[in-house]
């Protein structure tokens, strides 16, 4: 099959998009009988469930919430015969963690990885003006080769359970929208943009990939609808004089229209809203359009009541309003690529995004925080399954960069979260992942990974590959917590000094710090989990951040309380949220608001 396009689905002069979201048939394959019983031809005794959503939190029984294995979805769609002569693609924005798609009983495609889009092309099996059955077999098992990583155990009675090596609930299902797209046979498959600034002018270098040889033309309109630039050919430059640049929290988006023309006939048309900006690391600074920027914001999750990790545009909107209210300007898509609509909103609102691939749990552990401070060496990068993990990681990286490369908001790629970098075996793996990311991105955005405490100046084998260092640090919480916090600041500063003594000259960003606190829990004098403790903890971090010139970003963990596996370390989830899971401010929010509203965008620039 031709490689499918990663372009976001849009109806244009030549394209049609049909929304397939809604109630689908659904069944957990508790006995593993779906394949043998041909559920691909129709799921017997099915329940009905909303798409998109995680399936887990709808049910009132634990077996369904914790279900591990295959789960099946089914819907049907009428395809109008007016669409004859076009490609027909059913596009899944994400099925977690893997899927096989059957259309009219035929296996069309499969996909590994739960956070990136894929298409099932139904050209050869379509029934015109008739119902077409779409069946998806999903699976949510974790392994040493899945992104994210973990294990799947047998409970002894045929039931399976996942044990994630990471600290978020293993939500699964058709978690993002499904759409049927009808597009021309000769079509625009991809577009890649890069920006260059010279004086008041901007040069948008582009390359367009199409499936034919007809002429390609491009038009760029400003926000008032005036033509700002045009060009012909699959590769070229759009020259924008007196360009309005995309700035942090002050976005400006041009409207790009691409057409394939056959004489006067429009063969295909696609459009997108694009911000013009440059971003780079310069010494220990970040430069956006040549000016220093300081990152203030969060590590986040896609996580909310009832729909779990399911796409919920209302929650996305609320999150942006809260981030604006608190004075943030950035976030990391911890620990997986988010829904495309999140990046579209970030483009529009002028947020800076560190875009993370789902390479999390690459540290064999009960859940990663348990071993994060133990100094335990694992053999994660010495396993025989490493080649398969790497193939999955490289594939996800390519999909991520192809999907997100044109977003002005994306300023960097995060290639891992908290991997085990203590063994020298990690280095060759890291080297190849970093090299591939740099090769894939024509904008050459900085590449990095989020390091946990074991990735220390003494032990880390991989930090030198990063263009800036991202630290996840919990001095005063997992390490030197409680009354011992009196020693936390000295230990924290000692580590930072050791990095500088190693000769590291790039920017440092704190991609995680924070402590759990229960909303409304007060205690004088402070104890861990109280508001007072968190205030002391944040005072410490802010003192440290303010006294090192190399620290160019603070992204607290986490934006909101979120669901995790149950256990003695978690109180119905992780409570490090600055906001509750219902998106209301906890006391910490006011401390951060006070600080962030007063930090200039070019702080320490
Ligand atoms: C780090 C992880 C993050 C956890 C966090 C924590 O990157 O996923 O949720 O710590 O322990 O280890 O709260």
Q: How confident is the model at residue 4 (pLDDT cuts 50, 70, 90)?
A: confident
What is the predicted pLDDT for the residue at 1? 46
Give yes or no: 512 in active site. Answer: yes
Query: Average pLDDT of the chain?
Result: 96
What is the helix (H) or strand (E) element at residue 101, kind and residue range?
Answer: strand 98-103
Separation in Å, CA 31 to CA 37, 67, 70, 159, 540: 11, 11, 9, 9, 53
Three-class DSSP category at 345? helix
What mean pLDDT is predicted for residues 290-314? 98
The C-alpha atoms of residue 296 and residue 100 are separated, in whole angstroms, by 40
* 469 neighbors 506 (Cβ within 8 angstroms): yes
Question: Ligand 1 in contact with 472 (CB < 6 A)?
Answer: yes
Question: Ligand 1 in contact with 492 (CB < 6 A)?
Answer: no
What is the predicted pLDDT for the residue at 570? 92
Q: Which tens digit of pLDDT belongs to each residue from 406-435?
A: 999 999 999 999 999 998 999 999 999 999
pLDDT value at 145 more than 90: yes
The C-alpha torsion from 516 through 522 and 527 to 528, rounded to 10°, is: 0
Task: Write down the catalytic residue from 302, 452, 512, 534.
Answer: 512
What mean pLDDT is predicted for residues 508-532? 95
Q: What is the DSSP string of 168-189?
A: S----EE-S-EEEEEEESS-EE
Task: Write down the catalytic residue from 418, 452, 534, 554.
Answer: 418
Atom of ligand 1 nearest to the CA of 335: 8
216 C-alpha to ligand 1 centroid (Å): 47
What mean pLDDT is predicted for residues 504-531? 95
Question: Ligand 1 in contact with 367 (CB < 6 A)?
Answer: no
Question: Ligand 1 in contact with 371 (CB < 6 A)?
Answer: no
Q: How far is CA 507 from the centre of its chain?
A: 22
Query: Which residue, among 332, 337, 312, 248, has the nearest Cα to 286 in the 3D structure?
Result: 248
Count how many residues are written for the chain: 605
Question: Ligand 1 in contact with 417 (CB < 6 A)?
Answer: yes
Question: Ligand 1 in contact with 57 (CB < 6 A)?
Answer: no
What is the helix (H) or strand (E) element at residue 492, kind and residue range?
Answer: helix 488-501
517 C-alpha to ligand 1 centroid (Å): 14
* 466 neighbors 447 (Cβ within 8 angstroms): yes
Q: Which tens digit of pLDDT belongs to each residue from 243-288?
A: 999 999 999 999 999 999 999 999 999 999 999 999 999 999 999 9
Q: Which residues pair with residue 472 across a beta bridge?
A: 512
Query: Which residue, among 307, 85, 329, has the nearest Cα to 185 in the 3D structure?
Result: 85
Atom of ligand 1 nearest to the CA of 576: 13
What is the predicted pLDDT for the residue at 519? 81
Question: Ligand 1 in contact with 557 (CB < 6 A)?
Answer: yes
362 C-alpha to ligand 1 centroid (Å): 13
Residue minimizing CA distance to atom 10 of ligand 1: 369
Instruction: Find the radius of gyration of the CA atoms of the chain.
Output: 24
445 C-alpha to ligand 1 centroid (Å): 25
* 115 neighbors 172 (Cβ within 8 angstroms): no
- Mutating to test ligand 1, I would choose from 168, 368, 455, 513 the residue with most ligand atoms within 8 A of its C-beta, which is 368
Atom of ligand 1 nearest to the CA of 166: 8
- Mutating to test ligand 1, I would choose from 372, 481, 575 the residue with most ligand atoms within 8 A of its C-beta, which is 372
The C-alpha atoms of residue 129 and residue 277 are separated, in whole angstroms, by 46
User: pTM value?
Assistant: 0.98
Question: Ligand 1 in contact with 574 (CB < 6 A)?
Answer: yes
Residue minimizing CA distance to atom 11 of ligand 1: 369
Q: Which tens digit of pLDDT belongs to each residue from 572-603?
A: 999 999 999 999 999 999 999 999 999 999 99
368 C-alpha to ligand 1 centroid (Å): 7
409 C-alpha to ligand 1 centroid (Å): 24
Q: Which tens digit of pLDDT belongs to each residue from 313-349?
A: 999 999 999 999 999 999 999 999 999 999 999 999 9
* 180 neighbors 79 (Cβ within 8 angstroms): yes
What is the predicted pLDDT for the residue at 182? 98
* 147 neighbors 357 (Cβ within 8 angstroms): yes
- Burial of 358-391, coded b for 16+ CB within 10 Å and e otherwise, reads bbbbbbbbebbbebbbeeeebebbeeeebeebbe
Residue minimizing CA distance to atom 8 of ligand 1: 167
Contacts of 236 (CB under 8 A, 6+ apart): 205, 206, 218
What is the predicted pLDDT for the residue at 377? 62
Atom of ligand 1 nearest to the CA of 514: 13
pLDDT value at 371 more than 90: no
Question: Ligand 1 in contact with 576 (CB < 6 A)?
Answer: yes
What is the predicted pLDDT for the residue at 369? 56
What is the predicted pLDDT for the residue at 44? 98
Tokens of 32: 């593993």
Question: Ligand 1 in contact with 418 (CB < 6 A)?
Answer: yes
What is the predicted pLDDT for the residue at 283? 98
Question: Ligand 1 in contact with 368 (CB < 6 A)?
Answer: yes
* 89 neighbors 177 (Cβ within 8 angstroms): no
> Which residue do the tokens 């593993």 mark?
32
The C-alpha atoms of residue 138 and residue 156 are separated, in whole angstroms, by 23
461 C-alpha to ligand 1 centroid (Å): 21
Provide the angle, in degrees to the nearest 10, between the axes of the packed helices 587-598 and 531-547.
Answer: 20
Q: Which tens digit of pLDDT belongs to each residue from 27-77?
A: 999 999 999 999 999 999 999 999 999 999 999 999 999 999 999 999 999
The C-alpha atoms of residue 51 and residue 177 are separated, in whole angstroms, by 7
What is the predicted pLDDT for the residue at 366? 60
Give yes or no: 418 in active site. Answer: yes
Residue minimizing CA distance to atom 9 of ligand 1: 167
The C-alpha atoms of residue 456 and residue 504 are separated, in whole angstroms, by 13
Residue minimizing CA distance to atom 1 of ligand 1: 369
| Percent of all residues in the chain with a pLDDT value above 90, rounded to a whole number | 94
What is the predicted pLDDT for the residue at 379? 77
Question: Ligand 1 in contact with 399 (CB < 6 A)?
Answer: no
pLDDT value at 368 more than 70: no
Question: Ligand 1 in contact with 365 (CB < 6 A)?
Answer: no
């Amino acid at each position: 099959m031709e490689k499918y396009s990663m372009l976001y689905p849009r109806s244009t002069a030549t394209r049609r998009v049909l929304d397939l979201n809604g109630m689908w048939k659904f069944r957990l394959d508790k006995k593993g009988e779906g394949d043998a019983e041909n559920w691909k031809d129709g799921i017997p005794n099915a329940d009905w469930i909303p798409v998109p959503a995680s399936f887990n939190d709808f049910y009132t029984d634990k077996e369904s919430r914790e279900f591990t294995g295959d789960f099946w979805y089914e819907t049907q769609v009428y395809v109008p015969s007016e669409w004859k002569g076009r490609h027909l693609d059913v596009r899944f924005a994400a099925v977690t963690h893997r899927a096989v798609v059957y259309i009219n009983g035929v296996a069309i495609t499969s996909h590994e990885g739960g956070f990136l889009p894929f298409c099932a092309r139904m050209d050869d099996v379509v029934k015109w003006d008739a119902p077409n059955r779409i069946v998806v077999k999903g699976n949510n098992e974790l392994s040493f080769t899945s992104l994210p990583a973990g294990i799947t155990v047998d409970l002894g009675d045929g039931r399976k359970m996942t044990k994630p090596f990471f600290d978020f609930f293993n939500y699964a299902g058709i978690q993002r929208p499904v759409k049927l797209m009808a597009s021309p046979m000769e079509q625009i498959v991809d577009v890649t943009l890069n920006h260059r600034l010279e004086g008041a002018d901007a040069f948008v270098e582009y390359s367009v990939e199409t499936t034919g040889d007809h002429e390609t033309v491009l038009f760029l309109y400003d926000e008032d609808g005036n033509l700002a630039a045009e060009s012909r050919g699959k590769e070229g430059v759009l020259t924008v004089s007196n360009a309005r640049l995309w700035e942090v929290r002050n976005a400006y988006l041009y409207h790009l229209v691409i057409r394939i023309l056959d004489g006067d006939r429009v063969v295909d048309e696609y459009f997108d809203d694009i911000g013009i900006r440059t971003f780079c690391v310069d010494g220990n600074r970040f430069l956006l359009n040549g000016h220093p920027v300081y990152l203030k914001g969060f590590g986040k999750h896609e996580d909310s009541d009832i729909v779990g990790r399911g796409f919920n545009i209302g929650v996305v909107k609320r999150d942006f309003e809260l981030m604006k209210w608190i004075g943030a300007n950035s976030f990391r898509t911890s620990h997986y690529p988010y829904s495309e609509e999140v990046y579209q909103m970030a483009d529009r609102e002028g947020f800076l995004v560190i875009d993370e691939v789902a390479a999390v749990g690459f540290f064999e552990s009960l859940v990663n925080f348990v071993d994060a401070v133990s100094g335990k060496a694992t053999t994660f990068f010495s396993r025989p399954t490493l080649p398969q993990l790497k193939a999955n990681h490289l594939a996800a990286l390519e999909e991520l960069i192809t999907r997100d490369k044109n977003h002005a908001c994306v300023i960097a790629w995060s290639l891992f979260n908290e991997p085990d970098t203590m063994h020298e075996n990690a280095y060759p793996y890291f080297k190849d992942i970093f090299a591939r990311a740099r090769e894939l991105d024509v904008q050459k955005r900085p590449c990095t990974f989020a390091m946990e405490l074991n990735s220390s100046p003494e032990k880390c084998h991989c930090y030198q590959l990063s263009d800036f260092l991202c630290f996840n640090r919990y001095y005063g919480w997992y390490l030197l917590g409680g009354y011992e916090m009196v020693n936390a600041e000295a230990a924290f500063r000692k580590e930072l000094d050791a990095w500088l003594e190693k000769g590291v000259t790039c920017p440092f960003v704190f991609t995680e710090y924070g402590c759990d606190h229960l909303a409304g829990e007060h205690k004088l004098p402070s104890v861990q989990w109280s508001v007072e403790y968190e205030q002391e903890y944040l005072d410490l971090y802010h003192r440290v951040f303010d006294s090192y010139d190399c620290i160019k970003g603070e992204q607290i963990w986490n934006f909101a309380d979120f669901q995790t596996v149950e256990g003695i370390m978690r109180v119905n989830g992780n409570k490090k949220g600055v906001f509750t899971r219902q998106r209301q401010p906890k006391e910490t929010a006011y401390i951060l608001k006070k600080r962030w509203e007063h930090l200039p965008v070019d702080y320490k620039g």
